Amino acid sequence: MEQQKFDKEKDSSEWFTWIIQEAKLADIRYGVKGFLVFQPWSVEPMELMYKYLEADLERRGHKKYWYPTLIPEKNFYLEKEHVEGFSPEVFWVEKGGETKLEERLALRPTSETAFYSMFSLWLRSYKDLPFKTYQRANVFRYETKSTRPFLRSREFYWIETHNAFATEEEAFKNVLEDMETTKRVVFGVFGIPTIVFKRPDWDKFAGAVNTFGADAITPDGKVVQQPSTHMLGQNFSKPFNVKFVDRDEKEKYCYLTCYGPCISRIFASVVLTHGDNKGLRFPFEIAPKQIVIIPIMAEKEPKVLKKAQELKEKIEEAGFRVELDAGDNKRPGEKFYFWEMKGVPLRIEVGPRDLKEKKVMIYRRDTGEKKAVAEKQLLKEIANEGRFLSENLKKIAKAQLDKSIVDAKNIEDVKKIVGRGIARCGFCSVESGGAKCAEIVEKETGGRIRGTRIDVKEKANGKCVICGKPAQEVVYIAKEY
Ligand SMILES: [Zn+2]
């Protein structure tokens, strides 16, 4: 096994490339640029992540659909801003066999134009509303920027929700609830803390009235966009004819919203946020294996292996995901190193002496602490230590995010902070006239304005760091990973 050479805090990017290969998360050698093969060690946790997010959406009343991967060209062109935003990134299917298709078909880059064409057939009355749907899907985007496994691929895995409401208020309430889902699941379960921004007008989803995006931070101080939720207003319901007859018997256009948690990208943040110099560290809830059992000196004492097998069965029956590494081709030390790199939260060691004393050793991947546990208490201890580990990873991640936000008084400050953290500063106005200042920010600092916070209220004082006019807003500036 190759000793890793990268310091995760300083060379996050090299570390990320290393761990993808070393832990067998994905193989980039498929042969089509921007497409990769996801391997079991990333597919397992992503499956679990899907389940947590979907369960949350189901609780909120969303129903699951499976839509076709192909979207007819005429649908795609109905909403003007949407077309302009997405056209450069669409893969088109033009032929079936050798026959040229009468109409080109888009490989979905996102599915607004698929969903809303059907909404117009299904929705009739206020009684049909609210109408809340979702699907898990892979989507395709011809990324022209350099691609990065999990973060920016040309095919990625996500969930998209599409929803129709009778009023703007109800639609906006749903947008706020999306942000709660992000907080509950992405932070609460996956341990990724985020800041939620209202994106500036020039940075919103193509066709949306407003976009609210959550940003996470990488160890070296860059941001990674997490789920965004979009208020679409009536921008799509008009061209797609999504109407209903209200209580007053008048026909009205619905208000639409959508939300897109990108599983493969959130997974990148799980890797980047929680990993350390030894390798991955999975939160207990989404670890592909939660526990690895390593028998010690089993070759001298056959009873040890028998005990290890017995423990494995018992742990598995209790519903945990457990691996027994009983191979005799590696020394225990090598096995420890390997499973630590793989990020397995808990390690159980059982040796001849433990057998006599009816106990086992439990090791925690996050703290490196080891303790002896009576065999009788094992299942309870696993559940406890697993929970403590997840809480600890969350705490570490939150501290990292808080530390990365630094106040900037002028453009020189912003330059120093961006690339290593998030600059917080006064800004003239995101709503009106600020676009010019934003351009300067981008040109001079390499960072982008992420928006104004919506998760906490902040009052601006002082001046815009660019033009010097009185600041009306507090904005955050950062480089994207
Ligand atoms: Zn300004």
Distance 195 CA to ligand 1 centre (A): 23
Strands (E), 395-455: 405-407, 422-427, 448-453
Tell me which residue has tokens 């390997």.
338
Euclidean distance between CA atoms 156 and 150, whole angstroms: 7
Residue 70: strand pairing partners: 107
Distance 172 CA to ligand 1 centre (A): 29
Please answer whether residues 247 and 126 qualify as being in contact, where contact means their C-beta atoms are separated by less than 8 angstroms.
yes
Distance 223 CA to ligand 1 centre (A): 23
Distance 184 CA to ligand 1 centre (A): 35
Distance 429 CA to ligand 1 centre (A): 7
Closest C-alpha among 147, 188, 366, 140 to residue 285 = 188
Distance 80 CA to ligand 1 centre (A): 30
- Tokens linked to 249: 């018997």
Distance 478 CA to ligand 1 centre (A): 17
121: Cα separation from own chain's centroid? 33
Q: Is the peptide bond before 130 cis (omega within 30 degrees of 0)?
A: yes
Distance 440 CA to ligand 1 centre (A): 9
Distance 461 CA to ligand 1 centre (A): 13
Q: Beta-carbon neighbour count of residue 125 at 10 Å? A: 11
CA angle 143, 146, 148 (to 5 degrees): 95
Q: What is the pLDDT of residues 175-211, one digit of tens each?
A: 999 999 999 999 999 999 999 999 998 888 999 999 9
Would you state the pLDDT for residue 413? 95
Euclidean distance between CA atoms 242 and 123, whole angstroms: 7
Closest C-alpha among 222, 262, 208 to residue 86 = 208
Spatial neighbors of 280 by CB under 8 A, at least 6 apart, are: 19, 23, 271, 274, 341, 342, 343
Distance 475 CA to ligand 1 centre (A): 11
Distance 434 CA to ligand 1 centre (A): 6
Would you state the pLDDT for residue 10? 83
- Please name the amino acid found at residue 330: K
Would you state the pLDDT for residue 90? 95
Q: What is the pLDDT of residues 65-119, one digit of tens each?
A: 999 999 999 998 888 888 888 989 999 999 999 999 999 999 999 999 999 999 9
Closest C-alpha among 285, 309, 282, 305 to residue 295 = 305
Distance 471 CA to ligand 1 centre (A): 8
Distance 201 CA to ligand 1 centre (A): 15
Domains of the chain: residue spans and CATH: 12-274 (3.30.930.10), 289-391 (3.40.50.800), 404-478 (3.30.110.30)
Secondary structure letter of residue 185 according to DSSP:
I
Q: Beta-carbon neighbour count of residue 317 at 10 Å? A: 9
Distance 303 CA to ligand 1 centre (A): 73
Would you state the pLDDT for residue 31? 93
Q: What is the pLDDT of residues 217-243, one digit of tens each?
A: 999 899 999 999 999 999 999 999 999
Distance 442 CA to ligand 1 centre (A): 13
Euclidean distance between CA atoms 5 and 145, whole angstroms: 27
Distance 438 CA to ligand 1 centre (A): 8
Euclidean distance between CA atoms 363 and 345, whole angstroms: 8
259-281 burial code (b ≥16 CB/10 A, e <16): bbbbbbbbbbbbbbbbbbebbbb
Distance 437 CA to ligand 1 centre (A): 5
Euclidean distance between CA atoms 32 and 63, whole angstroms: 34
Distance 338 CA to ligand 1 centre (A): 52
Euclidean distance between CA atoms 340 and 346, whole angstroms: 9
Distance 199 CA to ligand 1 centre (A): 16
DSSP 3-state of 210: strand
Confidence of residue 5 (pLDDT cuts 50, 70, 90): low
Distance 464 CA to ligand 1 centre (A): 5
| pTM given for the model | 0.95
Distance 352 CA to ligand 1 centre (A): 71
Would you state the pLDDT for residue 324? 97
Lowest mean pLDDT among 12-16, 299-303, 311-315: 299-303
Q: What is the pLDDT of residues 335-352, one digit of tens each?
A: 999 999 999 999 999 999
Distance 468 CA to ligand 1 centre (A): 6
Secondary structure letter of residue 421 according to DSSP:
B
DSSP 3-state of 277: coil
Q: Beta-carbon neighbour count of residue 312 at 10 Å? A: 19
User: 2 pLDDT exceeds 80?
Assistant: no
Taking CA atoms, 206 is separated from 30, 308, 317, 361, in Å, by 31, 56, 49, 54
Distance 337 CA to ligand 1 centre (A): 52
- Please name the amino acid found at residue 10: K
DSSP 3-state of 472: coil
Strands (E), 33-90: 37-38, 63-64, 70-72
Lowest mean pLDDT among 158-167, 293-302, 365-374, 387-396: 293-302
Please answer whether residues 162 and 130 qualify as being in contact, where contact means their C-beta atoms are separated by less than 8 angstroms.
no
DSSP 3-state of 439: helix
Distance 422 CA to ligand 1 centre (A): 18
Distance 248 CA to ligand 1 centre (A): 46
Distance 226 CA to ligand 1 centre (A): 27
User: 3 pLDDT exceeds 70?
Assistant: no
Euclidean distance between CA atoms 331 and 415, whole angstroms: 50
Q: What is the pLDDT of residues 250-278, one digit of tens each?
A: 999 999 999 999 999 999 999 999 999 99
Burial class of residue 430 (count of CB atoms within 10 Å of its CB; 0-12, 13-18, 19+): buried
Distance 408 CA to ligand 1 centre (A): 14
